[in-house]
Chains A and B, each alone.
Chain A
Amino acid sequence: MIERNPSTLKRAIQNLPGYAPPKSMWNTIESEMAFYEREAALRRAARRLPEYAPPPSVWENISQEIHQPVLRKVYAKMRPYRWAAAATLLLAVYSAMFLYEQTGKPKIEYLVSAETGHLGTNASMSPQDEEAIEEVQALFVQYHQQYNDPQGHELLAELNELNAACEELRDVIDTYGFDKNLAQELTKAELERSGVVRKMAAVL
């Protein structure tokens, strides 16, 4: 390519600003060159040093270390972190137990066997007896209202409590089936109820 305006180009180049590196740059270059010279001298000296073969036991030790299981090597590397790892493991186990408690389903099994027995009788009461108690209670309420006997108030409260207890026990026996202990408890309550009703009847 031919420059068409060489004089203009030369003038422009002459007008460009000039730059010089700082003096510290030359110092740095000198110190680096000196370093490489010293390094080269050391390398030369090292090459002149005599060589010795290591004893066989050294190679045996190295060989054993090379053939150790990877896990032991990992363990050795991780040794400084063993407490942290143990704590993490403990936390994980605890969390797992907590989650198991909260969400873990209990173990369930079904068993089937047979035994000799009976379903028992129901605990219903004869309507005549119920009517008789209601009749006595009604008459006693009238009597109590007329004479306002304080002892009568206690008897009525007692009868109400026993009525409720007997009814509850009958319901339970009807629902869950006959049970000797519950039946005895019902008999006891019925006897007490009979006693209260007799006391009421005696004052009428």
Chain B
Amino acid sequence: MIDLQKTLLIGWFGLLTVFGNAQQNTVLQVVTKRINKEFAYKDMYEVNIDGDRAEVSIETWDQPVIRIQIDLIAKHPDKETAARDLEYLQYITQRVKNKIYLRNYLSVPDGQSEPESKLKAVYLIKVPAECPVYLKTNYGQADIENLSNRLRVNSRFSQINMQNIRGWMDINTFFGELFGTKLDGNVAITSRRSDMTLRDLSGRFDINAQYGVLNIYASSGLLDLNLHADNSQVFLHTPDLAGFHYNLIAQNSKLQLPSGMKFQINETAPGIKRVTFQPKSEYYPNITVTVNLGSLFIGK
């Protein structure tokens, strides 16, 4: 049996130990290594980014060129130390067949001391809108805008912001946050221990989530939404509540439905509720949601 004092102590340890004492501000020397490179774009070239502790910004422009700027940054009160640690940050910009590989990573030579500076990489990438992109990011952040073909994201401990993306999307996130606005196409999202907020959604969505808070705002252009969530809170907002066909399953979960709509509710087994709603229109989008050990809210 664990004593009460120890149990309470465990409850507090995270807050007390993560940050320790706040340090006083000082002057940090910022040494930046800026890399610029361009590749001529051809149909179906794919930009393949592997960012480690990186802030990645992907924008589009109307030139058939892929332009890359990578800033490798080291910050330390001592400039010499910052300059030394900066050399531990390595990068790759290379085209192999139809793939353009961009990567940064940390490489400390044998016998050298660990870096003492704050290190990070900042990517600014401009591509034609139709250029497919694959982004892998660890411990960073990404802002992606206006792509129209194919986007794949594999993120860990990162925040992903997507705006005005069309086409085929495959997003995988682990311990992070996902923000998407104006997404239109065939979208597959797999998330674990990540929160997501998706607005103005059109097209078909397939979402699988565990341990997250999901805020989803559909638009009238939504065609299909399949959502499976475990241990999660789901908030689903639709502009025309009665214009969708709903097929909802709540397993040991809290369910909150909009008033004024006649849902058919059946308890198929202890703790399992099945809820359906048939709209009056002949053609309608489908919303299928299964929530297990969580909560589901549906409203405007």
A residues engaging B (CB < 8 A)? 97, 101-102, 106-126, 128-129, 132-133, 135-136, 139, 165, 168-169, 172, 175-179, 181-183, 185-187, 189-194, 197-198, 201-202, 204
Q: Choose among A114, A116, A132, A168 the residue that contacts B10 (Cβ–Cβ < 8 A).
A: A132
Are B141 and A181 touching (Cβ within 8 A)? yes
| A contact face: mostly helix, strand, loop, or mixed | helix
Check B27–A176 contact: CB distance below 8 A: no
Contact B95 A201 (CB under 8 A): no
16 more A-B residue pairs beyond the given contacts A177-B115, A179-B120, with a C-beta to C-beta distance below 8 A: A107-B36, A109-B36, A110-B34, A113-B32, A114-B27, A121-B19, A122-B20, A129-B17, A172-B157, A176-B115, A176-B119, A187-B18, A190-B15, A194-B14, A198-B10, A201-B10
B218 to chain A, nearest CB (A): 27
B10 partner residues in chain A, CB cutoff 8 A: 129, 132-133, 136, 194, 197-198, 201
Q: Is the CB of B139 within 8 A of A118?
A: no
Q: Which residues of A contact B29 (CB under 8 A)?
A: 112-114
CB distance from A99 to the nearest CB of B (A): 12
In the docked arrangement, what's the CA distance between A182 and B158, Å?
Answer: 8
Inter-subunit contact A112/B139 (CB<8 Å): no
* B contact residues around A179 at 8 Å (CB): 53, 118, 120, 139
Interface string of B181-219 (1 = CB under 8 A from A): 000000000000100000000000000000100000000
Tell me if B35 is interfacial: C-beta within 8 Å of chain A: yes
Known contacts A121-B19, A169-B157, A176-B119; decide if A187 and B34 are in contact (CB<8 Å). Answer: no
Q: In the complex, which residues 8-66 of chain B have their Cβ closer than 8 Å to any Cβ of chain A?
A: 9-37, 39-40, 53
10 nearest A-B residue pairs (beta carbon): A190-B14, A177-B118, A129-B13, A106-B37, A121-B20, A118-B23, A111-B32, A107-B36, A176-B53, A125-B17
Contact between B2 and A101, CB atoms less than 8 A apart = no
Q: How far is A53 from B95 in the complex, measured between Cα atoms in Å?
A: 71
Chain A residue numbers with a CB within 8 Å of B75 are 115, 117, 119, 177
Contact of B175 among A114, A165, A194 (CB under 8 A): A165
* CB closest chain-B residue, reference A107: B36
| Residue among B1, B12, B14 with most chain A CB within 10 A | B14
**Nearest B-chain residue to A140, judged by Cβ:** B2
Once the chains bind, are A123 and B34 in contact (CB under 8 Å)? no
**In the complex the two chains form, is A139's CB within 8 Å of B2's CB?**
yes
**CB nearest to A174 among chain B residues:** B114
Q: In the complex, what residues of B have CB within 8 A of residue A122's CB?
A: 20
Complex CA gap A165/B10 in Å reads 17
* Residues of chain B contacted by A182 (CB below 8 angstroms): 139, 157
Interface size on B, residues (CB 8 A): 60
- Taking a contact as CB atoms under 8 Å apart, the answer to whether B28 and A198 are in contact is no
Known contacts A120-B118, A132-B10, A172-B157, A115 near B30 by CB under 8 Å: yes
Complex Cα distance A175/B157, Å?
15
Q: Which of A168, A193, A201 contacts B2 (CB under 8 A)?
A: A201
State whether A126 and B17 are in contact (beta carbons under 8 Å apart), knowing that A177-B117, A178-B118, A185-B175 are contacts in the complex.
yes
Which residue of the partner chain B has the closest CB to A110?
B33
- Which residue from chain A places its CB closest to the CB of B141 in the assembled complex? A181
Q: Closest residue of chain A to B157, judged by CB?
A: A185
The answer to whether the Cβ of B103 comes within 8 Å of any Cβ in the partner chain is no
Write the B69-80 contact mask toward A (1 if CB under 8 angstroms, else 0): 000000111010
**Nearest-neighbor residue (CB-CB) of B106 within chain A:** A175
A106, B175: Cβ atoms closer than 8 Å: no
A61 → chain B, closest Cβ, in Å? 48
Residues of B within 8 A of A189 (CB): 175, 193
Which residues of chain B have C-beta atoms less than 8 A from A204's C-beta?
A: 1-2
Q: Are A116 and B27 in contact (CB under 8 A)?
A: yes
Which B residues are in CB contact (< 8 Å) with A168?
A: 157
Which chain B positions have C-beta within 8 A of A191? 14-15
Q: Looking across the interface, which residue of chain A has its beta carbon closest to that of B37?
A: A106
- Inter-chain CA distance A128–B11, complex, in Å, is 13
Instruction: Report Cα–Cα, A65/B32, bound state, in Å.
Output: 61
> Are the CB atoms of B18 and A123 closer together than 8 Å?
yes
Q: Among B26, B31, B114, which residue has its beta carbon within 8 angstroms of that of A112?
A: B31
Could you tell me if A194 and B118 are in contact, using CB atoms closer than 8 angstroms? no
Known: A120-B118, A132-B9. A113 touches B30 (CB 8 A): yes
The smallest beta-carbon distance between B190 and chain A, in angstroms, is 15
